[in-house]
Every structure is written in C-alpha cells, then in structure tokens.
Chains A and B, each alone.
Chain A
Amino acid sequence: SVCPGDTSVLAGLYGPAEAKISKELPDRAALEVLLRPKVGLPGVLERSREQLLRQTCEAVLLGVLHPRTAISLVLQVLSDAGSLLSCCLNAACMALLDAGLPLAALFCGVTCALQPDGTILLDPTARQEQEARAILTFAIASGDRKVLMATTKGSCSVEEMQQCLAAAQRAASTIFQFYRDSVRRRYSKS
C-alpha cells in the first residue's frame, strides 16, 4: 500500500492467470484494472480512472511475453486526502514491480495544482485542490522522464502546463528513489 501524506491506496496484482475466452487477446496479456472507492459503489469517475491506469500500465508492461493470459490489478482506496490519481499510479507501479511482471520501464504519478495567483503546488491536499484553478496529473516514465499520461481538470494556458510538467519531472526523481529504497529493503532481508 502506498501513502503520500494521508492518501492511502492498497494494490493487489493477480497474474498472469487463465483468461476467459471472450477476454483473451491472441498476442498479448489482457490487463484489467479495478478501482474500488472507500465508500459506495464504483461510478463513472472510477471507470474513467481505471481506463487511464490501464492505458498507462499497458504502455510499460511487456504483454507479448504472456499471450492469452489475464492480469488483474485491484486498487482499494483506504483514505483520500487529495492527489488520489497519482497515488493510484504509484501503487500500480509498485504492485507490478513486486509481482515480478516484465516491465519495459517504471512510472510514477505526480499531481500539480495551479493556484489562482499562478504558483504551482505539487501533491496538493484536498483543500488545496478545491481552491486551485486547475489540477494536472502526469504519469512520468523512469528512463528518460517521458510523459506517459496527462490529465487536466480545470483550464490553464500552454506555458503553465509546460511549467507544471517540468516541475513534475523534477519531482519524479524523488519518487523513483523511494521505489529503489523500498525494493532494496525488501531484498536485503533475504
């Protein structure tokens, strides 16, 4: 489970397992993402987030090594205090790493909030998200800091988006270092 601040998401990855005939793809693995909110049934917002996560994961997963199989990623939101989508992205990447699935690159999620006066805030809390003019979430790949996924809520100009992207790419290094430290701790025990 991954928790930046008070937002917390539990991720479970199952696979490569047997796929239903209707869902299996002949040349690659079929990835399915399920996002469950803390209270209530999953709605349209969860569905759109699931699609974003699925497309990001499929971009890094080497699905061609496991054709006709199904990989399921289940995310349960334990607590939400802002920047939920980037927390889900980080949890998904750590689940893929932990399960030992073949990946071409790692990715991390960073959320930027644009305040009404133009300042950029990284990893905003729920309160800051409400007051912000625009919220941008980026999924950034590990090798060359390329952008895998970008989603925006609210409006901002192109220059502001470029600035947020640059700030997010800088912040991504901290998150990748955190991945490295967690994995090192896990392997040092054995």
Chain B
Amino acid sequence: LLCGPGLRRSGAGLLVTKCGLLRHRPGGGGAYWVDSQQKRYVPVKGDHVIGIVTAKAGDVFRLDVGGSEPASLSYLAFEGATKRNRPNVQVGDLIYGQFVVANKDMEPEMVCIDSSGKSSGMGIIGQDGFLFKVSLGLIRKLLAPKCEIIQELSQLYPFELVLGMNGRIWVKAKTVQQTLIIVNILEACEYMTAEQRKQALAKLSGN
C-alpha cells in the first residue's frame, strides 16, 4: 500500500496531514493520496520544473525554483556538454529540468538530461514568451492526459507551452497580444467552470 502526499505513517495507522480530497488508485497494490490546493512549491525528486538562473558559481548554476532554497544545476548536465563545450547560460535565463536530488535535508539538484543522456525537451527555454505563476492544482489539472483546456486553446491560436510542476507556466504565441490572451485564460481557468470557459473562448474566436 502506497502513501502519497498528504498522508503519513504513524505507529500502526495513517495520519492525515493536509486537507483536501482523498484519492485512490487501485492498480498495483493500491495507492492513496490527498489532493490539496497549494501555491507554495516543495521540491520533489523527478518533478519537471521551470527554474530562473540567479547566479553562476564556478561550475554550477543557482536556480530559483520557488521553493525554500535555490537549486543547483551543473553545467555538465546538458545534452552534448563537455568541459570544453559549455552551454550558453546567462543569469536570468529560464531552464526546464528535473530534480535528481530533492529531500528535506539537502539542497535540491537539477539536471537537464534524463537517465539515458538525452535531453527530451529539457534545457534552456528560448527568448520571448511570457512566464507566470499559478497554483499547483491547476498545473496538475493541465498535465492530466487529454486536458480539455489545452485542446480548446490550441484550436484558438497555435502556441508553445511549457508547464513546470512548481506552478510556473511559459507561453509563446505569434504576437504579444495572442500571448497575453492565452495567459489571461490560463490564469482564469482556475476559477471558471467548463461552460464559462467555453463561452469565453467562443467570444474570443468570434472576434
């Protein structure tokens, strides 16, 4: 039996530590967890996040991921990087990577390659685009397979989207105005029901 976020084993029983909806996955021995709404991110191993480079300290970049400590990213952790061939990362760049070490006792460490050495979409995020912050619950909703919000938005305008589990979303569309419209819709999606969203999108695509 697997205990997910929001539950802890204490003695012989379980202790519920957060408020939210209790969810259950029946496959493979059963897993229980509590779906809670939060804005503050706590680094977890394996999570893909968007980080902002704040400093370069020798061989290591310091990234702000929205947690309690800055994460570290070695310059060798990019695809095709060697000691001679360093990646071109400046202070203020956006990086999409995953945590390889993230527990409560140590400083979190990130990498931009997966276990086989390929980058699989991670790395430095390009110029332009818009970065904004939403709550963690909305990100989980958007990351679910076959998310309706993303399908409906893609019928509106073509755009590029990067979702970080730390609540950060990066959007880039053809013009600044389209980018801002997508940003506003994603921010409002948290509180709108499905019908309100469809109405808002219909109004926009009619214009």
Identify the A interface with B (CB < 8 A).
15-19, 62, 65-70, 97, 99-104, 183, 186-187, 189-190
Contact = CB atoms under 8 A, between A and B. Distances in A.
Contact of B104 (A17, A65, A183, A189): A65
Contacts of B18: 100-103
Contacts of B190: 190
8 contacts: A66-B104, A68-B69, A99-B40, A100-B20, A101-B18, A186-B37, A187-B37, A189-B191
A16 B42 contact: yes
A97 B6 CA distance: 12
Given A16-B68, A66-B42, 10 more contacts: A15-B40, A18-B68, A19-B68, A99-B39, A99-B40, A100-B36, A100-B37, A100-B38, A101-B18, A103-B18
A142 to B, nearest CB: 11
Residue in A68, A100, A183 whose Cβ sees the most chain B Cβ within 10 Å: A100
A68 B20 CA distance: 26
B57 to A, nearest CB: 16
A134 B37 CA distance: 41
* Size class of the B contact interface (CB-based, 8 Å): 20 to 34
Interface string B100-118: 0000110000000000000
Given A100-B36, A183-B19, A18 B69 contact: yes
A67 B42 CA distance: 12
Contacts of A102: 8, 17-18
Nearest to A179: B19
A104 B37 contact: no
Interface of B: 8, 15, 17-21, 36-40, 42, 67-69, 104-105, 137, 190-191
B104 A67 contact: yes
A97 B21 CA distance: 13
Contacts, number: 51
Contact of A104 (B15, B36, B67, B137): B15
Contact of B21 (A17, A187, A189): A187
Contacts of B38: 99-100
Given A16-B42, A66-B42, A190 B17 contact: no
A187 B67 CA distance: 24
A18 B38 CA distance: 18
Given A99-B38, A187-B37, A189-B191, A104 B17 contact: yes
Contact of B17 (A19, A62, A68): A62
B183 to A, nearest CB: 20
A50 to B, nearest CB: 22
Contacts of B137: 190
Nearest to A102: B17
A104 B137 CA distance: 22
Q: Which 6 A-B residue pairs are closest in the complex by CB-CB distance? A: A100-B38, A102-B17, A69-B68, A16-B68, A100-B36, A97-B19
Given A18-B68, A66-B42, A190-B137, A103 B104 contact: no
